[in-house]
Amino acid sequence: GLIGTINYVIEDEIIPAGQTTPESAEINMFLSKMIERGISACAMEVSSHALALDRVYGLDFDVGVFTNLTQDHLDFHRTFEAYLQAKKILFDSLKQSAYAIYNIDDPNGERIVADTKAMRLSYGKSERADIKVKDVRLGFEGTYVVIQTPTENAFEINSKLIGEFNVYNILSAVAVGYALGVEYEDIKKGIEKLENVKGRFERMISPDGYTVIIDYAHTPDALEKCIDTILKLKEQTGGGKLITVFGCGGDRDKGKRPIMGRISTEKSDITVITSDNPRFEDPEKIISDILEGVKINSVYYIFVDRKEAIWRALEMAEKGDIVLIAGKGHEEYQIVRDVKIPFSDSQVVLEFFQTKRKV
């Protein structure tokens, strides 16, 4: 079973997610259904909100995984330290027989597991990691990685997942499999079978020969990692311009807006700034906050309407270019005030491609 940001999955039943981690009663209802259907394991994405609000209080986790910690949700937690302490609750509550798996390369990794009673297992590129990378090759077609575990000779994985951040996702999955005693061949098969996740570095090829990447990156760190991944891959392929489309959510952490403006305009050839779930804020005010961080003399355009912004970016693109559309990823709505209006970045791109084919 699966409980996460995009969907809740119970065998063949797929339920669109309302929240990353649902309310306590819902969680227990889903877990009960899984048990009734003979499901023996559930992967659950546990949000900092859920931990702070005790939604998972009393749940008996066998494995907890810490991936990374960067600026996000400060509208709720107020300070980065409070955000960290909320994440830490999961690991502090693990039993002795459980595993606390953490990214040793993240500066907060060892703090997160400092007080856990569980067995610790680290992963990363560091030589100190228990599960570590021995070799890696990145490409637009996927990722080749050689991984060393404490008890096994290094083994190879050829994954369809793209980007350096996915190397860390692969490492964490290997660590979970190792902790649970899964055979290496089964870990390898499971990871290699996985296609790209919807809205996570999702690649679309235009009829005109440029590439569109749709990604959920909506924090400074995620946007920077996404752009850096594209730039690295572009170096290998000799690609053209990078055009980045993004906005920032309304009624959320305002401090990240100018930071994201700076990151995009420093690293992209062209930036298109637009709306992204403005909620009860004025979209133009959100954009003005973003503009406070833009690089002087950078090339950027402003289109408040997100569909227009995407279409204009695609019109600018030429063969060999890459258009990154960041912020919404898998989401199929735009939140204006308290109304969810149907909207999908990938659908807008497909409509543009179809229009081009008709011309």
- The reported pLDDT for the residue numbered 2 is 95
The class level of CATH for 202-358 reads alpha beta
Domain with CATH 3.40.1190.10 in the chain: 2-127+166-186
Residue 152 pLDDT class (50, 70, 90 cuts): confident
Question: What is the CB-side half-sphere exposure of residue 303 using CA atoms within 13 A?
Answer: 15
Which pLDDT value is given to residue 71? 61
pLDDT of 78 = 72
pLDDT of residue 358: 59
Contact 214, 349 (CB under 8 A): yes
> Between 124 and 357, whose confidence is greater?
124
pLDDT digits (tens, 9 = 90+) for 167-218: 999 999 999 999 999 999 999 999 999 988 889 999 999 999 999 999 999 9
Please measure the distance between the N-terminal and C-terminal CA atoms of the chain and give it in whole angstroms.
Answer: 45
Give this prediction's pTM: 0.85
Q: How far apart are CA 223 and CA 291, in angstroms?
A: 16
Please list, residue by residue across 323-352, b when 16 or more beta carbons sit within 10 angstroms of its beta carbon and e when fewer do: bbbbbbbbbeebbbeeeeeebbbbebbeeb
What one-letter code names the amino acid at 117? K
CA dihedral 235, 172, 71, 202 (to 10 degrees): 50
pLDDT tens digit string along 260-318? 999 999 999 999 999 999 999 999 999 999 999 999 999 999 999 999 999 999 999 99
Residues 6+ positions from 68 with CB-CB distance below 8 Å: 103, 106, 108, 168, 221
Q: Put residue 38 in one of left, alpha, beta given phi > 0 → left and psi -120 to 50 → alpha.
A: left
pLDDT at 74: 64
Q: Which residues of 204-235 are buried (b: 16+ CB within 10 A; e: fewer)?
A: bebeeebbbbbbbbbbbbbbbbbbebbeebbe
- Identify how many contiguous H helices and E strands the chain contains and give both numbers: 12, 18
Alpha helix (H) ranges present in 37-120? 48-52, 74-77, 80-92, 109-112
pLDDT at 18: 84
At 237 the pLDDT is 73
pLDDT confidence of residue 80:
84
Chain-wide mean pLDDT for the chain?
Answer: 93
Residue range 2-127+166-186, CATH number: 3.40.1190.10
Phi-psi region of 201 (alpha: psi -120 to 50; beta: other; left: phi over 0): left
pLDDT above 90 coverage of the chain, percent: 83
Residue 73: the pLDDT is: 62
Contact criterion met (CB below 8 Å) for 358 and 228: no
The 300-302 sheet, strands edge to edge:
202-205, 211-215, 322-326, 242-246, 270-273, 300-302
Q: Is 221:73 a contact under the CB 8 Å cutoff? A: no
Residue 62 in contact with residue 180, Cβ under 8 Å?
yes
Neighbours of 303 (CB within 10 A): 19
pLDDT digits (tens, 9 = 90+) for 71-99: 666 676 678 888 899 999 999 999 999 99
The model's pLDDT over 22-53, given as tens digits with 9 standing for 90+, comes to 999 999 999 999 999 999 999 999 998 999 89
**Residue ranges of the chain that CATH labels 3.90.190.20:** 202-358
Q: What is the pLDDT of residue 171?
A: 98
Compute the half-sphere exposure of residue 212: CA atoms within 13 Å on the CB side of its CA. Answer: 26
What are the residues facing 101 on neighbouring strands?
65, 121
Of the listed ranges 102-106, 199-203, 238-242, 276-280, the least confidently predicted one is 238-242
Residue of higher predicted confidence among 151 and 260: 260
Residue type, 354: Q
